Structure 1
Amino acid sequence: MNAPQLPLQVHGLDLSYFTGKLEMYLRNKGIAYDLIEMDTGDFKRCGLLTGVAQMPQVKWCEGQWLSDTTLIIEFLEKQFTETTITLNDPALQFMAELIEDFGDEWLWRPALYYRWAKTRDAKLMGDRLAAGMMRDIPAPHFVRRFAITNRQKMHFLRRDGVNRQTAKRIEEHYLESLAAIEDLLKENPFLLGQRPTLADYGLLGPMFRHFFCDPTPAMIMRTEAPAVHEWVARMWNLKLQRLDCALMPTDLPAKASKILQLIMEDFLPYMQANESAWQANQRSCSFQSKGIEFEVPVNPYRVWRFQRARLRYAQLTPADQSRIHGWAPGLQDLLQQPIERLISTKISTLPIHAAVQKNFVGRQWQ
């Protein structure tokens, strides 16, 4: 394995969901990096190198790149073992990974909804993307802003099933998530205890660059969940080495019941519906949330995430599975369902295992 070129070159945007998640981790670990602000040309170049058009993309060393924040963090945890966020307890680590899945793949919808459905937010973010990501497009600023704003609304609102009924439920998803995280932070500085875990970084994806920074959800966060607001700022300023003497979590907090309820009642049933539609070669999937019907595009990447979670659950010992059942009765029924057709896991030709699969539909920039 070749040594990394430090500081790492992180290609992304300072308003990006997943760039923010990775930056938070790198800052906390003390891993030096430079943020290379993408324009459309760099976005395409990185996509050609890694096989997927998404951000962030990380240059590791000559000819080697990392992509997908979940896989990047797993990889870096093995390379920089000091100040780890990985738990030695397999059952608890699995729950942290499940919460990360929830942050990455469920809160994505309300995060993009607030950014592009609210007039003030859309105007601000359209202006920032026109001046940043689209700075290499030879057109007047107002033309770039109009084009990017309409493009984002098409992808993340109209094509993602947002209408009058679903919009109300999406706003409730945000409020419910804030309440669940606020509950966890009443007793501990971090979600699972005295040290951050993967659960914190998974939820910081949406909570930092979207809900904490975009005007409308930020006002809601300050009003409804001040402990969440404080946690986001504390995490941005954190150095993990300061917590070397703090004990790792050894049990799931009782206050985790609210977030587990959201995962079991909304998130995993959606992931089931998405996989079932993919298995049937459908282009869209339907699911219900509190009686509200959603019709959204099938997402192959989320098929992989759901299958990955179930395969990891199956690899746990019966004792660890029993502990998970004790924390979340009924969760095992959602995780033990058979996999009819495993999504292709052909790894790209890049020499780093953390590169995302070439055949996946990657997340687009937001």
Structure 2
Amino acid sequence: CLADIAFTGPFFRHFSQDPVPAEIMKQRAPAVFEWVARLWNDRAGSGDDALLQDLPEDWSPWLRDIGTVYLPYLCENALAHQQGQRRFSPTAGGVRYPRARTSAYRVWCLEQLQSHCNTLPEDALARVRDILQAHGAWEPLWRMQTLDSGVNRGLTPPFGCSHKML
């Protein structure tokens, strides 16, 4: 399942590879620890599962969160980055975060989201636009039109030594 793959990134890197969270997961959630290992060791196969044609309804709360919390935060960070601020005080989900660090990586995230949208065929882009508009996520995705993270242009991912991410 694609959702499993999406979740495995943070679970693998942040929880199963760090000794302290890994031990906690082994003791309190051994099935989750085993799931991470299984997914990490999985290989592409000849599965018969077709891709979903529509978005599952249970994704709606996540998309609303993305539209009302995550994307506005990315925009506030991008504006602070654009203005050369090292720190800014965003509000996300009704919570104010005073003096948060401005992050070039977060600008890069917004650049990538916009870039991937711009590569979609027109019919797919129309479907994505409809879904994101229905969840309040389309406008904040495009709120910042001029983005320049300055992060390792032409290279992916943006974690090279040539650019400090914070």
TM-score, scaled relative to structure 2: 0.71
Counterpart for residue 117 of structure 2: 313
Identity %: 24
Deviation at 1:345, TM superposition (A): 6.0
**Does the alignment pair 1:279 with 2:104?**
no
Within 5 Å, give how 1:334-353 maps onto structure 2.
Answer: 334-344=140-150, 347=153, 353=155
Pair 337,311 (structure 1): closer, same or farther in 2 beyond 3 Å = farther
AA matched with 2:43: K
Within 5 Å, give how 1:55-70 maps onto structure 2.
Answer: none
AA matched with 2:96: E
What CA deviation, in whole Å up to 9, does each residue of 1:192-230 have, x standing for no partner? 5xxx7xxx1x4322112434560687389739xx7x666
How many residues are aligned here?
Answer: 158
AA matched with 1:303: V
The 2-side partners of 1:222 and 1:333 are apart by: 39
Q: Is the 8 A contact 2:78 2:147 kept in 1?
A: no
Within 5 Å, give how 1:171-210 maps onto structure 2.
Answer: 190-192=1-3, 200=5, 202-210=6-14
Q: Is the 8 A contact 1:211 1:221 kept in 2?
A: no
AA matched with 2:29: R
Structure 2: gaps spanning 5 or more residues: none
1:360 to 158, 163, 166: 163
1:259 to 49, 58, 62: 62
The 2-side partners of 1:334 and 1:299 are apart by: 18
1:247 to 49, 55, 63: 49
Counterpart for residue 107 of structure 2: 303
Residue aligned with 2:73, SS: helix
The 2-side partners of 1:234 and 1:322 are apart by: 36
AA matched with 1:249: L
Looking at both structures, which has the greater relative contact order when contacts are Cα pairs under 8 Å and sequence separation is at least 6?
1
Is the radius of gyration larger for structure 1 or structure 2? 1
What CA deviation, in whole Å up to 9, does each residue of 1:19-51 have, x standing for no partner? xxxxxxxxxxxxxxxxxxxxxxxxxxxxxxxxx
**Does the alignment pair 1:222 with 2:24?**
no
Counterpart for residue 332 of structure 1: 138
Deviation at 1:338, TM superposition (A): 4.2
The 2-side partners of 1:332 and 1:287 are apart by: 20
The 1-side partners of 2:13 and 2:151 are apart by: 30
TM-score, scaled relative to structure 1: 0.36
What CA deviation, in whole Å up to 9, does each residue of 1:96-125 have, x standing for no partner? xxxxxxxxxxxxxxxxxxxxxxxxxxxxxx
**Does the alignment pair 1:235 with 2:39?**
yes
The 1-side partners of 2:24 and 2:102 are apart by: 27
Pair 309,265 (structure 1): closer, same or farther in 2 beyond 3 Å = same
